[in-house]
Amino acid sequence: MNIILITTVISSLFLVIAAAEPLAARLRLPYSVILAVLGMLIGTAAIFFLRTEMTDALNPVAEAILGLPIRSNVFLYVFLPTLLFQATLGMNLRRMLDDWVPILVLAVVAVVVATLGVGYSLAWASTLPLAACLLIGAIVSTTDPSAVVSIFRSISAPRRLARIIEGESLLNDAAAIALFGLFIGFVMLGIPDPTLAEALGQFPLLIVGGVIAGWLATRISVWVMAIFVHYERAQISVSVALPYLVYIGAEQLIGASGVIAVVTAGLTLNLTGPRRLPPQIWANLNEVWVLLAHWAGALIFILAALLIPRLLEEVRAEDFVLVGVVICAAVFARALILFGVLPLLTLLRLSPEVERPYRVAILWGGLRGAVTLALALAVTESTLVPIEIKRVVGILATGFTLFTLLVQGTTLRTVIRWLGLDRLSPLDEALSRQVVAVALQTVREDVKRTTENYELTREIVRSEAKNFGERLDQTVQAAEDGAEILDRDRITLGLIALAGHERDTIIVRMRERTISQRMAEQVLSDADRLIEGARSDGRNGYQRAARRSVSYGKGFKIGVALQRRLRLSGPLARMTADRFEILLSQRLILRDLDAFIDGRIRRIHGRRVADLLHELLARRVEAMETALEGLRLQYPGYAEKLERRFIRRTALRLEEREYTIMREDGLIGAEVYTSLMQTLNVQRAATERRPKLDIAIQRLELVRRFPLFVGMDDAALNKLGRALKTVHVNSGEVIIAKDGPAESVYFIASGAVELESAGQTWRRGGGEMFGQMAILTKKAVRTQVRAIAPSTLLVLDAERFRRLLARSPAIQQAIRASANERGLDPDVLMFDEKTAPQGL
């Protein structure tokens, strides 16, 4: 084929892509629907002009369009890796992990249910073998939720809901293609009725092999990219090669799932890239992939749609019945998941509540697209698949895709409007008024300064200021006097605004490189949780998210267990260093929020709401300072190193700003500026390397500084340090339950606990101990102890504590004071301990 014609056709397709986006916005239709319609029109027009006798002038163009080398391998090996890889790079993995249960249910369970539902329905309604019916089920089970996600974003649907749908879109392609590979193998081998065990028995190799291949290839790629640290284009080029090589390697070399391998590669780079690459290079890399994915997604839709007229050439009347069976079975299977399984997960507290209108929108927005057509094309191209099966697969997959695009896609916004999802809730209405009021107040101040600077005519300024002031007064009055807004909603609005400003501040600090890219992602996730918590549950939701931001996660406790039992201190040291840096970043961000409350929120919601927000913010600051002080006590030298690193990074940022100003003012030339920036980047790379934390050394230092262990010799302290176990507990967690056995004594390294017994309460803080009374009285525990702040405890078993007590005057004195506080005789408690054996 003439290369000039091919180049002309492909270039023209980019013009179609350019026109499709504004056309979709103008017609208020999903972008993918417009692309598919344009593709079908181009394919139909090419067939018409090639076969008509009206003119032969356009025959070369028509032949070029119909002769494009569109094969299933082009979709699966060129376009699909691009889309999957970019989707994983753009994900917020920490937030996705919050909702991994509903994502897996929608992505994997729903695909399996749809495959089985469509397959067995077709087997009942047609004469096709079961293997072919299940193959069709796998082909049509994958969804393209981009339309419903874009609409959800435009109607301000909960971010968490949009995230769940995005996670589903990433993983359901992998599940559907894996099932497709299984069933097409049965069809080509002539196995008409495979059992479910046979089909699923090959899954482990596909999944595990793909995960290993993707992880290993990405680790090697990141290592290579780190070597090319000063060559941005080289690093981006390595990232472009990665998904294609890993897809081909997994499929062709080890027989694993290339889709799983690409998804794993993207997730691994998403986790490791921000730590290993400079922030600007990581941002540029993501921008390149966003553009590549946009082109790939558009081309795959158009090229697949070009094939639709050819795939439907041999359609028969009875095929329409089978298309109807596929539609009914697929919709029913998805409805079963959305209206049966998801509510059950919500009851089990494994998934957030998805309101019924949103579930209906997700059901109707489950469009099928290019991946379905590409898989159908792969079947029609195979020489090992019987001709009749190829014909039916092509027609049913194409017919079902057309139904979802032309019927569901074109009516999706109508369904959204019918469900009432296009209307703002009273809370969102109030939020919009608040935003307008605050914006207009800021604009008035800026306009006043501008008019003074330009010395405009006083009469004109006065007239315009009067008009603007009237509009501002009306807006502020509407924001203040909204009768339908309750006081608790005003607090919620203030919290949402406060959390939003916190998020914006984090982004600014990240761009300034005051906080690292990796830590910024973590604190951004915490800010998103604050926003969602305030939206869903007001003050309580905000406080839960705030407590979570300073609490010890499950991973931290796993790291403690690994260090204690297997002597693997690396994971714990890394997580502890992360916690240090996160808390320092939070302190930097939180100190700027009080001014926002006084400058913005107080204007709209009044002093009472502002004072309440100040109080909530003060609690957050107190919890953060408590957690940070606890780390300082445990690792005093390391805290100093991190603070020095922060100062150096701030100094480098200010130095870069000065060089940029001098360059813009013409004081230095491009050559001098480039040289200075190169030197600055070398220094910045050195400061990006975080100091190493040695858990063992720091722990012994903590034992030496503990007030109750003062006076002990070094040998006893070293032995005690090895005997003590470290436990991390979160606020509200019960440490000692009533009526339990007395087994250990706890020393509070950081944080605070509350003791409750017989209606009385006592509090213990850093440097104190608890649990000793039950051991000394040799009675069952009558006191419940719970943490009232994230706390780090040192735990000693009862036998070692008795030995320690006999040789520690400080501990004896602490026990006497505690006994007097509770009305007990300290001499009775101490009597048996004077004869306890020496040593630990």
User: Of the ranges 136-145, 156-165, 732-741, 810-819, which one carries the lowest mean pLDDT score?
Assistant: 156-165
Whether the pLDDT of residue 736 is over 70: the answer is yes
pLDDT at 839: 42
Q: Which helix (H) or strand (E) holds 725?
A: strand 725-729
User: Of the ranges 10-19, 421-430, 514-523, 577-586, which one carries the lowest mean pLDDT score?
Assistant: 421-430
Q: DSSP letters of 234-285? A: HHHHHHHHHHHHHHHIIIIIS---HHHHHHHHHHHHHHHHHHHS-HHHHHHH
Q: Band of the pLDDT at 240, cuts 50, 70, 90?
A: very high
What predicted TM-score, i.e. pTM, was given to this entire model?
0.68
pLDDT at 482: 52
User: Of the ranges 335-339, 408-412, 436-440, 576-580, which one carries the lowest mean pLDDT score?
Assistant: 436-440
Whether the pLDDT of residue 248 is over 80: the answer is yes
Q: DSSP letters of 433-480? A: HHHHHHHHHHHHHHHHHHHHHHT--HHHHHHHHHHHHHHHHHHHHHHH
Q: DSSP letters of 751-784? A: SEEEEEETTEEEEEETT-EESHHHHHHT-----E
Q: Band of the pLDDT at 485, cuts 50, 70, 90?
A: low
Sign, CA dihedral 709-715-718-719, equals negative
pLDDT at 237: 92
**Which one has a higher pLDDT value, 702 or 140?**
140
Q: Quick one: DSSP state of residue 797?
A: E
Q: Which helix (H) or strand (E) holds 621?
A: helix 602-634
Q: Mapping DSSP to helix (H, G, I), strand (E, B) and coil, where does residue 793 land? A: strand
Q: Band of the pLDDT at 242, cuts 50, 70, 90?
A: very high
